[in-house]
Amino acid sequence: MACNDDWQVAGRRKGAAKRRQHPSNPKLDSHQVSDCKLDKQKIINAVNELRGENFWTEWRDLLSERLLSNASGSSELNKTSLQYCVCYGLGNFASCVSARYQLAMLLLLLETLQIPVGSCCVYDPVFSASECDALKELGFTVLTENEEGKRPVYQPTLFYLMHCGKALYNNLLWRNWTPQTLQKIIIIGNSFHGIQERMLQREFERDYSFLSNVISVCDETSLPCSPRFLDVFNDTALIQFPSENLNKLPETMWIEPSEPLYQHCQDLEIIQREKRS
Ligand SMILES: C[S@@+](CC[C@H](N)C(=O)[O-])C[C@H]1O[C@@H](n2cnc3c(N)ncnc32)[C@H](O)[C@@H]1O
């Protein structure tokens, strides 16, 4: 993990830097540089705090046992050897404490699962320029395109989507809608069952058909959290798609999945990419 004790605490901020929607200017002014250092230091502090939490120890033990290929007790079937990670929807971790702890948790997860930080892509359309710089200094690969969650998976990949819009999950499933590919996807994010419980079944099936089609066969293990971190890690689960379960779905379910359009959704909850005219 790019968790480096040598990082300096930057001086006091001289004024709130205006947050930009899109990191466009590669040259940083002195305020942005100090914002970036401050952001990084806050993250390191959060990592160290989380390390001392009992619930983190529980996450670490559970995830190591389930996801590390050399862990004792892991069967041939669930050996995954994760090499990549994608994180969508972290939010403004410089100003939002929840997002900061979620980022800190991501660093702990990468360290535990032995995924190089550079093999972790992060994207949120609201990241400011200094947040992008802090992420790059931590070693992350910061994406510049809004993929709307439609990332094709070729190797076993961990997706970390904390409190993200349902369409991001649904789009990810659509893009990888074959049993061979879905089994390579591991999600740490909102419980699919929790999502279903909070929606009318009719709307869940109509608007999020990939989520609703896979929910009966996904393997979902809820991840604990302490009362202090309820707002940050509530409703979080480890979600996997074991091949033996996927093979139980009727073959017709895999034929020509049509891209979700969300025509009936009043509140899509995700930011879509700008339409090119
Ligand atoms: C409900 S907020 C959650 C923020 C933070 N993770 C938290 O728990 O406080 C959802 C986040 O998803 C982000 N988001 C929306 N559309 C996105 C997209 N297309 N790709 C990645 N992230 C997106 C939003 O900008 C927002 O930060």
User: How many angstroms separate the Cα of 254 from the Cα of each of 149, 172, 175, 182, 203?
Assistant: 19, 15, 12, 11, 21
What is the predicted pLDDT for the residue at 80? 54
Give residue ranges with CB within 6 A of ligand 1: 88-91, 96, 98-99, 102, 123-126, 146, 148, 162-165, 270-271
Q: How far is the CA of 255 from the centre of ligand 1 (A)?
A: 30
pLDDT tens string 156-177: 999 999 999 999 999 999 999 9
Name which residue sits closest to atom 24 of ligand 1, judged by CA: 89
pLDDT at site 123: 98
**Per-residue confidence (pLDDT) for residue 220, from 0 to 100:** 98
pLDDT at 95: 94
The predicted pLDDT at position 270 comes to 95
Greatest alpha-carbon pair distance for the chain in Å reads: 61
| Ligand 1: residue whose CA is nearest its atom 12 | 89
Q: Whose CA is nearest to atom 19 of ligand 1?
A: 148
* Helical segments of the chain, H only: 30-51, 54-67, 97-113, 129-138, 166-175, 179-182, 192-197, 201-207, 209-214, 230-233, 243-246
Beta bridge partners of 158: 85, 186
pLDDT of residue 277: 62
Pocket perturbation via mutation, ligand 1, pick of 93, 103, 164 by most ligand atoms within 8 A of CB: 164
Q: How far apart are CA 106 and CA 73, in angstroms?
A: 25
Atom of ligand 1 nearest to the CA of 271: 16
165 CA distance to ligand 1 centroid (A)?
7
pLDDT at site 229: 97
Residues of the chain with pLDDT under 50: 1-26, 73-78
pTM over 0.85: yes
Spell 189-218 as b/e; 16+ CB within 10 A means b.
bbbbeebbeebeeeebeebbbbbbbbbebb
